Each structure stands twice: as structure tokens, then as C-alpha cells.
Structure 1
């Protein structure tokens, strides 16, 4: 596929579309957001008016069928990702879907099979694969800055959010029927995916999950043990019910000749310690954090490059998450 101009139709007008993603479509050459859809007509019309989008819909099928739309961005919660992706692919339009790719690994396989059958690309919003911050970590690893990679340790600990304490108005991110799980599925996927990008696939994984805070139905405390195809081993701990004093956001990669530490979300300085001493870097993020990944997607759709995040890579991440949470048969 080689499009001259990528004309995006966006399904979903929620928070992620305000700054993280949608504004980037109009900042990239040969790319434009031409239509948006939201189930609430008033919100869809408001989003279109505020962002200068020509058309809005309250029906996803109508947006997908719009002849001006030749690529579809799905910015809804995970429970509807597979449904909308399959509709768009059946209409002959490539798809960019938010992360996590779906609620379960089986849905990811169905989406990838549909994309292959249609001969169309399927991309997933694991934008850390294109951010300078994480690219710098990968460059250090690829250059042998810490020697042979031995092990990885992940720690993400957060406190409950105010909305988590209101059982009558819980966020969709802690409702398994909508999100696939809780904050583990929403956040840990970013770290697991970028490690797949840096170190290669995880091929063996086990885990434990529990609800220790009792605030919502989903898991809030998770531990995991895993092994990469390159032989490195890893462990992870995620907790979203801790006191403020326990907060942490750290990834540590241990090598035979040094250590690299960085954060998944806080973007604290990257720290390298090896035989030459200690050095730090803090590459800047773009205003719209998905910008660089969308640039790569537009380039691929125009036949000029390749996106680092695809349905195939995202399905691997979903498999790891499902294995940790005990959702695989």
C-alpha cells in the first residue's frame, strides 16, 4: 500500500485524543484528520469544532464508510478495538489502534489474521518504540554499553486515584469487561512492549495477580517472572493500591559490564553505570507524545518506511500480559 495523502478517520473522542495523539495527525506532512466519531453526538461535534475537523459522526460504520477516510484510528477502550478494527479492515482501510491492542490475546490473533487476509497494515499505539528517550536506551544496549544483558527488573508502584474510591463512578480502566483488567493492563503493557523492542521477545512467563485494595473488581497487585529469547531473565512488580511513600517507577537492566536505569512513565534521567563511570541523559518528548510513531506509520502508509509497532509486535505483548494475569488457556 502506498497512499499519497493519509486521511484519518478517528473513532473515539476521549482524553487520549485531546493531546497525546490526534493533534499529531495534522502536524505531519501528507497526513490529515478529516473525520471523528463519538457515541455522544454533542461530544463528537464539540471535538470536531475545537480541533478544526471537517466532519463528525455518532456512528462508527458511517465514519469507516466515508470515502474521504482512507485510514482509521481507533481511540476507544480495549473492549471495542477488535470490533472496529475488523470493520475497518473489511472496508479496505488500514488501522491504527490504541493500546492495549485488545482485551485478550485471542482477539489480537483475529485482528492480525484479518489484516493479513485483507493485505492491509495494522498498527498499535505503543509509541515508546519511537520516543527519543527509549531509543537512547536501545542505542546504549545495542552498542554494548553494559555488555551481555543478564537480567531486567521492573517496579511500578502507585497509590489509588480519587476516582478509584467512588464505587458508583469507577474509571473504565479498572473494569475488566471494558479494559481487559485494571491499571496493570493499561500501564504495564507499555513497559513490557518497549522491553520487547529493546531486548527481543519474552518467550516464557508466569505471574500472580490479586486485588489487595478492594476498591474495584480488577487486579491491583501483580508480580511476574519471565525469560527473553536472548537468554536474559526478568522480574516485575506492579501495585496500584500502595501508600504514597511506596511510589516507584523504575526499570533496571543488568549487564555483564554495567547497569542502565530508566523510568517507564516519569521520564527521569536515563542512568548508565559502567567501567567508565556514571552518565545521565534526558531526551525531550514531543508535545504530542505519539507524534514520532505516527510519523513512522504515515511513512509506511506512503511506502517510505516502516513502523516499529505493529499488530504482530503488540500481540506478543498481549500474550505476555495474559500469561501473567492467568488468562491464557
Structure 2
């Protein structure tokens, strides 16, 4: 299918071929009929992409701060790869459309195939021929409403939420500053609510349009018409509300709002304008400044938007979806008219040219629609989708490969690899080590979103991008599968890939529960396929391996202290979704337990965990054979400026120290200290991938035995059991 994308690094716009997204549970696949270009928001994004690197940095100081923190934690080379990977990627455009339901996911029963729906969201209602849309981000289109008008649903919801934040009442007078697309809809909503509206915009054409849509007066920001109209309508008191729907870098809108507001009036920011509030003016009138957050309550809440958890109507009357449905109803009843706002309807095939004409100023427009092929004719109502889904055969069982035997290598032919997932870690830490290798063929990348797969295909040279996992697992040409997805899917994807006879590299954690771990091990037993590696990369770090070599053999018990300054997570991070993705320690703790086990050459016997009330800080005591012990401190309350990982091992009168993979030292009869100027903070990803591929190619043993991978995972999971029991937890020894 086709999708409009932009490269943020170069500014390039393209109509790209991408895979059709899969239909996940909790949402629907929608084939677009019309999508709306936001001539304000989207053109601002397009313009920003054309800036120099310095200009981009100045426009996003929040992102610059994140980059500097990443440099402190991961080093310059890793941060550079990550940042350049993000910048040199295609990003989507669009957030408001109308289309026909083509496939219904599990858990959806209020719409069916063939229904017409309006869709919202800058990750789901994209300028693309097909989108997957979760249930709280679409609403059925009322009978008789034209699809081209329903495509305004998201913009209408944004305007409606702004109006709700202003709390207008019958007879109020409101000032709308900025008569672009959002401002024109705000004018109509206020007029429909019995509010007298004065519009402000430097463009006389837009002023004339607003006057025709219900504004009682309109004019230039500096015109006497606006001032006199406000004075006449309010008996000189000033307007009850001001709605800021303007953009740009001028501070004039907020200054005008203060001059024309009444005492204790409300100022609502809907757009993205400069907000250097003149303190005296706002203080003396005690103005109430409010922000309107996009489409309404639920925005930016992944539980609402992605998981479909609605807010009870008794507590939250107007959510994103209810605003969307309400606006569609107003359109259907004729209370709001968007037809006069449509300046141009472009064929989707001309999307790039349309953006360019808008950017250059050749096309003057309030609203522009893309019209898609095979769309329902306006006025004819919805029709069934033109391209039904084709069923994909299930993973084949019965052949040598499907029966779980190790894949048979064909002489010196390259290892054929499929990646399941292409997120930040995969694209910055794993794929750069594979893309240039002649002994590896990147055969297929499988993702749930179309554009992430297309980006990985373009940057790393995958032969194919797809959203069809079953087809990849059933492909006999695939030798190895890398599972680099969210934690909750690791065990199931690993289990399926093992049963399909593939060698599997899965990022940590292998499993989130004892049941998931048992299912993976049962798959190994059932298939006879033990070709498994988990991404415990620290044991492969060159600096740590050299330090271990310098330390030499150990005869007596050892004492290990491992301090992990994990730090705080940003609000909204999916790592915080413990109900579905597991705790932070379950997700990351295996790294550190595996490192200790490798250093000691044994698997742990028991786990005892403690935590301070009200914190996520953990103290984990691991007991090993031969009297060795390890204390693992996993802390989330430390400062970001402190190193993330420090490790000390003491045994036989000698000591080994690792300082955050930057420096290592060994103390004994002779002292060894690594170079003070390492090339980079290398945590072993490259060496780990090399070892895995060498085993796949040769058919020899995997770098780490399955028993050790299972023992590390079991120890990681035992931390929670120990916290609940308040006592040590013994671990079953692998037979």
C-alpha cells in the first residue's frame, strides 16, 4: 500500500510503498476514503524538517536534553547511532480521516466490515491507504453524512475540546484569534452554542469566511473594527473568553487577549502560539489561562488510546471518542458546515506535489483533502471494502524444520535472518552489526506497524518488509529469527519460532512469568530444537572479558557486588506498564544475574530480595555453589549523572573492578588497569551477535546453554517471589 512519509533529517517527502498493517485485537483495519491535511500542524512539521540540524535542535530543546542524558549513560557512539537512526527515518503525516472498515479485530463488536468510520490519531489516522485504528480512536459515521465531511472529525474534536475548556454560556461574547482551520470550526461551534463571536486574523479572505460561518464581526489584529465590535457587544467590559487558535512566533495574540478580555475572563490556548504572558495585564484582570489538550480526555493515555479502556461517563463526560462522535453528529444535523472550508481536493497519488505547493505558497488553502482510490461515492453511503484479507496458511508442522530440528546450513551460504520488531534497540544496537556483513542475508523484517518495517528495510537492506509473522515462520529459507519486540510478547514469539525449527535470538527477558518460561522449555522439549540465545550481552563485553582473563582462574569462594543505577523512567514509558510488560527488574535484571553467573561459572542456588517501602530500589542476594555470593543493588532513585553499572569481584586475595564498561582493573600481586581512553562503551552486543551467528552457521552449540538461560530467567522471576514471601527462594537445579 502507499503512505505519505517524511524524512526528518533531509526534509524529503515521499509516497512510499509499505506493508499493509496487521489487524490487531482491540481495533479495526480501515481503508481510507478521505484524509485531511492540517495546513497548520502538518505544514509546521514539514517546515521544521527542512531546517538545519542546529535549527532542529533550537526548535526542540527538550529532545536535546534527552540526547545529552543518553550520552552520559550510553556514550557518544551509541547515542549518535540512535539519534541518527531516528532522524534518518521516515515519519508519518496525518491524523484525521474517514474510511471503510476492512477487517475487525478481536474484541470489537460495535462496527462491522463495510461500515464507514471517522478516525483520529497521529499514529493511526495517517495519510495511508490502510490504517489500523484502536477502538477509542474511531467513531461510526452517521447515516447520510458525506465521507469527505466526516474526514474533519479529528480537527472538529480539537476545536470542540478547546470550546469545552472555555466553558461558554448562552449570551457570552468570545474572541477567536486565528481563523485557520481550527479557528473556523471554533467559530461555528461557539455560534451553535449561542455565543456571539468576534474573529481576528490578518487574512481578509479568512475573515470573510468566518463571517459567513457565524462570526458577528471579524478583522485584522490591529484594526479598529475588532476593538469597537468587542466594546459594543460587551458594553465595554471585554469578552468572556478568548480562544487562541493562532500559530507562529509572534506574542501579539496573548497581548491582544489581555487587552480585550473582561475582568476574570478565560483565555484558552488551542494552537501553538508564543505564550510570553504580559504579567501585569494578566494579573490585574486575574485572567484564567487554560490549555486545551488536543482531542480531549484520553489523549496521550496509552491505556485509553491503545488498550481501549474507556473513562466512566459519570466521571468524564467528554472523552476523545465522545467528542469525535459528537462532532460527527453536529455535522450530520447541519449545525456545523465544513464544506466551505475545503479549498482543494487532491488525488492521493499527488500527495507529495500537494504538500510542496502548500509549502511554497502556490496553493492557498484552509483545508485540503486527499481522495483515495475505491472510496465510496459521497451520498451513496458506505460500501464493502474492495480488497478483502487473504488468509495466510498456519505454520507448517511435520517437515524436518517444523519438527524442531536445527536448520540445515547450505555450505557457506549466508545465514538468512528474519527480524520480528524494528524498534530503537534493534535499529541502534543489533542491526548496524548485521547490515554490512556478507555472510548474513537480512531476508525479512516483521513489524506490527507498516512504516517501522519500511524504515528498517530502507536503512538496513532487508529483502522484504511485512506484518505477517506466520508467513515468516513458515518460510523454509529463514535460518534464524531475532525477536526484538515488547517484553510481553517474547515468550510466545520464541515458543512459536522454536516450534517452527528456527534458531532464535530473543532480547531479554525470555519470559515474564514461570508459566511463560515453562512454555518455552516445553517447546524446546517438544521440538528437540535448543537453538536459543537470549540477549544477555554483558558477558560478551570485550572489556569485561579481558578483565576476567587478567583475574585468572579462581579456586575459593567469591564475593560479588553489582551496583546498577537504573534511574527514573519518563512518565508514559511502556516499561512502567507492569501489568502487561512486567516489572523493570524482570525486564532488565537478567542482564546482571547472567553476568555474575558467567563470572562465577555457575548458576545461582537461591535468591533473597529486599526493598525499602515506597521505593522500587531492590537489594538481591544470590547464593552460588562453593560458598560464593553476589549482592545486586538495583536502584531507581539515583542521579542520572552517576555511572549506571559498577561491579566488584573479590576472591583468592584478588579483586576485579568494572566501572560502567569504560574502565576495568584487577588488583593482586600485579595490578592491571585498562586503557583510560576506550573507543566506546561496548557492552557486548556485536560480539554476542557474532557468537550466535557462528553457532547457526556451523551447527555447533549455542553461546550459552539453554539450562543457563533458564536458570538466569528463573532467578530473575524469583526476586518477586522472595519479596512476597519475605524469605529466600531456592532454585531448582537443572538436571
TM-score by length of 2: 0.40
Aligned residue number for residue 124 of structure 1: 534
Is 1:23 paired with 2:425? no
Q: Judge conservation of contact 1:300–1:306 (CA < 8 Å) in 2.
A: yes
Name which of 302, 309, 313 aligns with 2:708: 313
Separation of aligned partners in 2, 1:234 and 1:280: 23
Q: 1:198-255 CA deviation, whole Å, 9 max, x = no partner?
A: 2111111110246735xxxxxx211111211132112121111234576653111111
**Structure 1 spans left out of the alignment, 5+ residues:** 214-219
Name which of 615, 624, 627 aligns with 1:231: 627
Deviates more, 1:66-75 or 1:197-206: 66-75
Q: CA deviation at 1:267?
A: 0.9
Is 1:181 paired with 2:583? yes
Name which of 136, 145, 149 aligns with 2:546: 136
Separation of aligned partners in 1, 2:687 and 2:631: 29
Q: Judge conservation of contact 1:6–1:71 (CA < 8 Å) in 2.
A: yes
Q: Judge conservation of contact 1:262–1:270 (CA < 8 Å) in 2.
A: yes
Separation of aligned partners in 2, 1:244 and 1:123: 31
Separation of aligned partners in 2, 1:48 and 1:289: 25
Structure 1 residues 162-173: aligned runs within 5 Å: 163=570, 166=571, 170-173=572-575
Name which of 254, 261, 269 aligns with 2:657: 261
Q: Judge conservation of contact 1:23–1:288 (CA < 8 Å) in 2.
A: no
TM-score by length of 1: 0.84
Higher CA-based Rg: 2
Structure 1 residues 203-214: aligned runs within 5 Å: 203-209=605-611, 212=614
Separation of aligned partners in 1, 2:491 and 2:566: 29
Q: Judge conservation of contact 2:551–2:666 (CA < 8 Å) in 1.
A: no
Separation of aligned partners in 2, 1:142 and 1:28: 34
Aligned residue number for residue 409 of structure 2: 3
Aligned residue number for residue 152 of structure 1: 560
Q: Judge conservation of contact 2:542–2:684 (CA < 8 Å) in 1.
A: no
Aligned residue number for residue 249 of structure 1: 645
Aligned residue number for residue 295 of structure 1: 690
Q: CA deviation at 1:302?
A: 2.2
Q: CA deviation at 1:50?
A: 2.0
**Structure 2 spans left out of the alignment, 5+ residues:** 1-405, 726-735
Aligned residue number for residue 216 of structure 1: none
Separation of aligned partners in 2, 1:196 and 1:10: 28
Separation of aligned partners in 2, 1:179 and 1:252: 31
Separation of aligned partners in 2, 1:14 and 1:130: 22
Q: Judge conservation of contact 2:661–2:682 (CA < 8 Å) in 1.
A: no
Q: CA deviation at 1:13?
A: 0.9
Distance 1:302 1:50, change over 3 A: closer
Deviates more, 1:11-20 or 1:301-310: 301-310
Q: CA deviation at 1:38?
A: 0.9
Q: Judge conservation of contact 1:157–1:240 (CA < 8 Å) in 2.
A: yes
Q: Judge conservation of contact 1:152–1:251 (CA < 8 Å) in 2.
A: yes
Q: Judge conservation of contact 2:547–2:665 (CA < 8 Å) in 1.
A: no
DSSP 3-state at the match of 2:688? helix
Q: CA deviation at 1:284?
A: 5.7
Q: 1:262-319 CA deviation, whole Å, 9 max, x = no partner?
A: 14xx31311111133x321257669895222222222212226433234332221111
Is 1:53 paired with 2:459? no
Is 1:280 paired with 2:673? yes
DSSP 3-state at the match of 2:661? coil
Higher relative contact order (CA 8 A, sep 6+): 1
Distance 1:152 1:78, change over 3 A: same
Distance 1:233 1:280, change over 3 A: same
Name which of 560, 581, 598 aligns with 1:197: 598
Calculate the aligned-residue CA RMSD, in Å.
2.6
DSSP 3-state at the match of 2:693? helix
Q: Judge conservation of contact 1:251–1:261 (CA < 8 Å) in 2.
A: yes
